[in-house]
Structure formats: structure tokens, C-alpha cells
Amino acid sequence: MKQDRWMSLLGLANRARKIISGEELVIKEVRSGRAKLVLLSKDASTNTHKKVTDKCKTFNVPVRFVEDRYALGHAIGKEARVVVALSDTGFADKLSEMLD
């Protein structure tokens, strides 16, 4: 049940155009200070995992982990997504709570 709640919230954030997906774009958002929260799938490659978490650590952006790339992709109406950034504080805070 909990999984469905974060997924529908992420879907809402997506429709509000408050998310960015894809490794390069997310890194850019983190660097620019626009990313408020990064969601990373637990099945991301070691390389991607390290790159994203290191970058987030450097720029003090919280990272939360979700089950897999399909859950993350499905939540935003895409096939599979490994990493997603939220650019809205409200959505970020709420999702952060749900995924703690």
C-alpha cells in the first residue's frame, strides 16, 4: 500500500512538471541547486549509484531509494527509470517522508 502512495504522489509531481528523469539531467539539476530530492532505484548500476549519490552528497541533496527501475518508471508513466529528481520542495518533503 505504501508503495502505491509514493508512486501516485510522484505521478502527481510529474503531471505538475516538477520532476526530471535520466542520469545526466538529474546530475545537472543537482549541480544547479534545483533538485530538492533524488529518487534512485535499488537496481541502478554500481557506477550510476556512485555517481548520483556522490553528487548528491556534495550538493547536500537528499537521496531516497525505491525498489526498482520499473516502479520508478511506472510512477511517471514511462517504461523504466533509474533516477528521478524533484524540483519542488513540497513534493520532495512529502516523498521523503513516505520513503523513509
What total number of domains does the chain contain? 1
Residue 47: give its domain's CATH number: 3.30.1330.30
Structural domain containing residue 45: 2-99
User: Rounded distance, CA 37 to CA 39, Å?
Assistant: 7
64-75 per-position pLDDT tens digit: 999 999 999 999
Helix (H) or strand (E) holding 53: helix 46-58
pLDDT category at 4 given cuts 50, 70, 90 is confident
Q: In 3D, which of 76, 89, 95 has the Cα closest to residue 33? A: 89
Question: How many CB atoms are closer than 10 A to CB 68?
Answer: 15
Q: What is the pTM of this model?
A: 0.95
Q: Which residue has the cell 512538471?
A: 17
